[in-house]
Amino acid sequence: MSDCIFCKIASKEAKSNVVYEDDTVIAFRDLDPKAPEHILIIPKKHIDSLNELDNSDKELASHILVDVIPKVARDLSIDKSGFRIVVNTGDDGGQTVNHLHFHMLGGRTMTWPPG
Ligand code: AMP
């Protein structure tokens, strides 16, 4: 069995506050929110990071971008006010959980550049 916490969340072995789920993707609230709305959107299958996405993942990647992100934004009512998607990748990217995840942050005005 995988030690990956996000695999455990996807399989319901670990608890999370789910806001969206389908056959291939699950979205849940971040434990340590950095904005009034902070959701993590992940593929259910284990992919270490953006670096490990390959040609066989094109449908999954477009599903997340074209279907899931807009739906979650609408459901949280942040589609009109705006939101930020962040994919921390690798050490310099600040990735701490090695299972690909899209942070969705909203409900406040974001600043730029990020730290
Ligand atoms: P990153 O630093 O980009 O890898 O983001 C990992 C995120 O996962 C952080 O924002 C953590 O707060 C969040 N996180 C870690 N464990 C859990 C968990 N069990 N449930 C929800 N969020 C988590």
* pLDDT, tens digit (0-9, with 9 covering 90-100), for 45-55: 999 999 999 99
From ligand 1's centre to the CA of 33, what distance in Å? 9
Structural domains in the chain, sorted by start: 5-106 (3.30.428.10)
96 Cβ below 6 A of ligand 1: yes
- The C-alpha torsion from 56 through 62 and 67 to 71, rounded to 10°, is 110
Structure tokens at 54: 């390959």
Residue 96 alpha carbon to ligand 1 centre in Å: 7
Whole-number Å distance between alpha carbons of 65 and 82: 15
pTM tops 0.75, yes or no: yes
Residue 55 CB–ligand 1 contact under 6 Å: no
Helix ranges (H only) for 1-115 are: 5-10, 58-62, 69-75, 90-93
What residues are labeled active site?
101
What does the pLDDT look like over 75-110, one tens digit per residue?
Answer: 999 999 999 999 999 999 999 999 999 999 999 999
Listed in sequence order, the residues at least 6 apart from 79 whose beta carbon sits closer than 8 Å to its beta carbon are 70, 73
